[in-house]
Structure 1
């Protein structure tokens, strides 16, 4: 009788784990997909609604500003209201914002709705990862994170492919409706799961910190993007930049002394957590910059249709899908340091190969080798990076730890995209493309060096006799 009960309990636990992993993947997939699917749609949006490089930057960064600044609040909201409640609210809000964007009559409305979409997206990723870390333990957790990482990062890579097909065959507007089906499926799975929600007694939301963080990011990004049009001498530029920097500094002070900080600075006392997040800043900033530059240049510079521009990254997607889970398992056995060092350096080498691109463009010899090597490096990096950071923090703080790491990643992408005009000199021609490739490769290389110097493999407990 006891054996039967144990078998039933084991089967139920396994079913719960599978459902949790699938829900976490789908919910995060929505956020990651929408962050990248827009890349190949930018030229079509510009042609229909108007605007230059600055408008294209804002379509990307409006989403990243609210996503990056409020993803920290989402970690606290998960503790206060429960992870499943927050996840469900994020999915519904994301769907509503996506429909509004698809009907946008002008660039301003589209950019505002992208900001709203970022708010909803901020609720998805921390809750998804927190579900995984609270359900899985030990090597199973490392493998689950590897699977989650592979699927969600594949969304970042497959997004341009889907986006390109929709732009060429239907309309750029339908690009933003791609996520409606996975949202509906995820909401249904949440109803099926019947998983007890977890709330942290006494947890509160740091709303003042959220405002300071949002204004700090918004002011700084506005200055970086609009300086190309208004000039650094404009009061609108140096004024917003000053306000942004002051609010960012005030945010750090607030988090230092708040009784309920949304970004506990004590987390950074852990060596792997602090070094991993510093590496994340360079690696994910480079990822965002590389994705935007490659997607736009292949259309506007090399003259490819949106579908082919999106397909350019398909080899990386295939590599991620095939090997991310396996790399996560290896990382769980031998430690993340080797992978986090070698992976970014391989990505740097892959991006450096983009310097072979010429006016007489040829994808097979000038871009494909770069994409293949880049995909190998990315696969080696992402799962071990996530596992190293979350594995360094105790499980009860996994929600806020994942929120901080995801905020660092999105903010890094936000700042990198905001600097695009400065990097390329305001025009994304071939020379600007080369300059962006050099900067991106250098950022990846720095991420590898930081990982080598800062990350330490966790000690493996000796087997019990």
Structure 2
């Protein structure tokens, strides 16, 4: 239901929801800039650095769909306000912590708040703006969602020029608290009176599956891949996934109907978005440490170094719908993914003496590839479902992005960590104290500090650590490129040919116990608990399809 508001009030609503979105979207990249300093000050290991970033992303991704459903059912304004409050509380608490474990815990708290904020911002737009203005408002939402990474990198870089890493949490907390006050004054309340019940069991099982896989992946290099804890985590993830599938196929109103993945365009679109952000988030996590710890960039210089990639993404994204219309979704998606792969392969060639120009030669094709690949993937998801199920399409699109990013930081970070630890173990100087070697294995920041403390004896250990880090991320980037190429080939072979099919009844998902071959489109079992209202033209307008 759309709330009639004066135009000046609508502008205020849009400003508040866009700032709210920027706060939660920028929280991952903003902290990537601070990881080297945070590791030096707190003694965080490489595994703990992964958790500091991924604890937020994991909770954010795991709760995104159920949080959107809660807002739709019980009121979007109170959920947004509560989410901003929880996010701010976690940020302020993290700013006062000096222990990595405490920071990880508070990042998870902020992740809960972020999951409440992001889906409600888009729901508020769709319930507050008339159809004639909704496309532009959602377009602004998409722009902020994409530009949030660059905002986070640059704002953190500026802060770290004069302050230490806690200032990033303080800034996020203050911005969140200020936005909360504005939300209380400006945002109208709305809810979906016909929203279905919330699938609590499905939400818990999907969160268990994701948490188990991420935990096992991050802890594997440190504990050992055959350690009982690592194996138990993977087993819990597999069990949670299996139970979620069984539950979702039987319950009448699942959080996400698995039958949707029988729709080719939907499945390939979700796959593409997941893989894109798997590589993108993992790449940024690694390259920010490389720039600061190996090339000795300042935090601001590191943030500025990645800005051209964001400029390319923003500039080409406006043109990508036109290009997609000319060459087709499958070709555009394939070209985009291959461009990202080419850029990542260039980054895999970076060494301790690399120039910025080599880095730029990797970043520009990554930016171009993201611009070309994201629009076709989102359009494939949207076009695969009929008009009254666009809320599901948008919710899954957001969830795929966050899940992909969470897994990318976990998997690529663990490939790096595994190679780094093994490289030091294999090549450490024979005269280096065992405790120094063990400490150097925790993180490159730790190795740098230990090498400096040992003086002349530590120079070789420091060089070994740098080489091990470079070798580790080269393997991670090469694996990323291979994944992108395989995904591109699969999408070109299996993806939709293009053109809107939703009105023609594609995306048909059978009701449990009924066959889809009865010739009647039946979407009764696709849930409407999503992060936007079911407006048939909304997602298509927003993506330029």
Q: TM-score, normalised by structure 2?
A: 0.74
1:276 positional shift: 0.8
1:53 positional shift: 0.9
Task: Using the TM superposition, name which of 51-60 and 369-378 deviates more.
Answer: 369-378
Contact 2:56 2:109 in 1 (8 A): yes
Contact 1:78 1:86 in 2 (8 A): yes
Q: Among residues 257, 271, 292, which one is paired with 1:278 in the alignment?
A: 271
**Residue 454 of structure 1 aligns with which residue?**
495
Alignment partners' CA distance in 2, 1:131 and 1:337: 33
**1:305-359 deviations in Å (ceiling 9; x for gaps):** 2222222101122233444345457768997555433322222222222134233
Matches within 5 A, 1:365-444: 365-394=357-386, 396-420=388-412, 422-424=414-416, 425-427=418-420, 429-444=469-484
Q: Against the structure 1 CA distance between its residues 398 and 97, is the aligned structure 2 distance closer, same or farther, given a 3 Å change threshold?
A: farther
1:287 positional shift: 0.8
Alignment partners' CA distance in 2, 1:196 and 1:327: 35
**Residue 34 of structure 1 aligns with which residue?**
27
Q: Among residues 89, 102, 126, which one is paired with 2:119 in the alignment?
A: 126
Alignment partners' CA distance in 2, 1:357 and 1:323: 26
Alignment partners' CA distance in 2, 1:320 and 1:403: 22
The answer to whether structure 1 residue 155 and structure 2 residue 148 are counterparts is yes
**Residue 84 of structure 2 aligns with which residue?**
91
Q: Against the structure 1 CA distance between its residues 251 and 125, is the aligned structure 2 distance closer, same or farther, given a 3 Å change threshold?
A: same
**Residue 253 of structure 1 aligns with which residue?**
246
Rg larger in 1 or in 2?
2
Question: Structure 1 unaligned runs (5+)?
Answer: 1-10
The answer to whether structure 1 residue 352 and structure 2 residue 380 are counterparts is no
Matches within 5 A, 1:73-112: 73-112=66-105
1:111 positional shift: 0.5
Question: Structure 2 unaligned runs (5+)?
Answer: 421-467, 504-545
Alignment partners' CA distance in 2, 1:142 and 1:446: 34
**1:103-139 deviations in Å (ceiling 9; x for gaps):** 1131111101111111111122222334455667999
TM-align CA RMSD: 3.1
Alignment partners' CA distance in 1, 2:374 and 2:186: 28
Task: Using the TM superposition, name which of 188-197 and 376-385 deviates more.
Answer: 188-197
**Residue 287 of structure 2 aligns with which residue?**
294
Contact 2:270 2:381 in 1 (8 A): yes
**Residue 4 of structure 1 aligns with which residue?**
none
Task: Using the TM superposition, name which of 232-241 and 181-190 deviates more.
Answer: 181-190
Alignment partners' CA distance in 2, 1:140 and 1:381: 27
Alignment partners' CA distance in 2, 1:249 and 1:207: 16
1:283 positional shift: 0.8
Aligned residues: 451
Contact 2:32 2:288 in 1 (8 A): yes
Q: Against the structure 1 CA distance between its residues 355 and 217, is the aligned structure 2 distance closer, same or farther, given a 3 Å change threshold?
A: closer
The answer to whether structure 1 residue 304 and structure 2 residue 315 are counterparts is no
Q: Against the structure 1 CA distance between its residues 115 and 136, is the aligned structure 2 distance closer, same or farther, given a 3 Å change threshold?
A: same
Contact 2:419 2:471 in 1 (8 A): no
1:90 positional shift: 1.5
Q: Against the structure 1 CA distance between its residues 218 and 355, is the aligned structure 2 distance closer, same or farther, given a 3 Å change threshold?
A: closer
Q: Against the structure 1 CA distance between its residues 384 and 93, is the aligned structure 2 distance closer, same or farther, given a 3 Å change threshold?
A: farther
Alignment partners' CA distance in 2, 1:439 and 1:339: 22
Q: Against the structure 1 CA distance between its residues 233 and 343, is the aligned structure 2 distance closer, same or farther, given a 3 Å change threshold?
A: closer
Q: Among residues 163, 166, 179, which one is paired with 1:173 in the alignment?
A: 166
Aligned to 1:376, the other structure's residue is in SS state helix
**1:356-400 deviations in Å (ceiling 9; x for gaps):** 42332211x211122222222223333453344345445554444
Aligned to 1:419, the other structure's residue is in SS state helix
**1:49-90 deviations in Å (ceiling 9; x for gaps):** 113210111111111221111112112212311333322222
The answer to whether structure 1 residue 47 and structure 2 residue 87 are counterparts is no
